[in-house]
Chains A and B, each alone.
Chain A
């Protein structure tokens, strides 16, 4: 069975500072990896995805993530955050050839302070 662990439930950071949101996964088969962002009272927006190939993936809003197979991690990074990045961030995995069922982590609340 798959599982996703987001290591930090809350990450406070000052504006223009770098940030890393950590995600580890467990699966006995190959997976696809995703990061979603959810702003208050809204749905989820896909930030980026890793399917195969280059382990460094660039997404929208200046975010990027690096897939590390040996450490089963997929950490999200941004070199300089803005107030508008304040939101909930979810890491998710999906087994290759397993329909579309996404398994989500518990989420990380990113709070950017001025």
Chain B
């Protein structure tokens, strides 16, 4: 299994809603990431988890809250988002060491 699975694929939410994005991998990777990608732009790193501990937070607003329940799962909890948060949210995982990151298909988020 060489996949990173993200759910849902599409999400529309209001500015007062609370929702969660989910990510799962079964490759035994101990590093997992959340990226945000706007149209026609490269992915921007949001968070890095290493061995289930948050190791990098790229100054992301607190309305985004990551969670790593175990080594296979990564969640991104969303609350009180703004329309400008609409984007493709990508999850990725990588082995420790020299490997490249494997990306999921992303969740297309629209905030209305």
Contacts and interface: CB of A to CB of B under 8 A. Distances in A.
The answer on A and B forming one complex is yes
Interface of A: 32, 34, 36, 41-46, 49, 51, 90, 99-102, 104-107
A96 to B, nearest CB: 8
Contact of A101 (B4, B40, B45): B45
Main secondary structure of the interface of A (DSSP, over half): loop
A107 B103 contact: no
Contacts of A51: 98
Contacts of B90: 43-44
B7 interface: no
16 contacts: A43-B6, A43-B105, A43-B106, A44-B43, A44-B90, A44-B92, A46-B101, A51-B98, A99-B48, A100-B31, A100-B33, A100-B94, A100-B101, A104-B42, A106-B42, A107-B41
Contact of B48 (A32, A44, A46, A100): A100
A44 to B, nearest CB: 4
Question: 9 tightest A-B contacts by CB?
Answer: A104-B42, A43-B103, A44-B103, A43-B105, A100-B31, A46-B100, A49-B100, A51-B98, A100-B94
B98 A107 contact: no
Interface residues of B, number: 25
Nearest to A91: B42
B56 interface: yes
Interface in B42-70: 42-43, 45, 48, 50, 55-56
Given A90-B42, A99-B55, 20 more contacts: A32-B98, A32-B100, A34-B100, A36-B103, A42-B106, A43-B106, A44-B90, A45-B103, A46-B100, A51-B98, A99-B31, A99-B48, A100-B50, A100-B94, A100-B101, A101-B45, A101-B48, A102-B43, A102-B45, A105-B42
B87 to A, nearest CB: 13
A107 B106 CA distance: 18
Nearest to A96: B98
Nearest to A105: B42
B108 A41 contact: yes
A107 B94 CA distance: 21
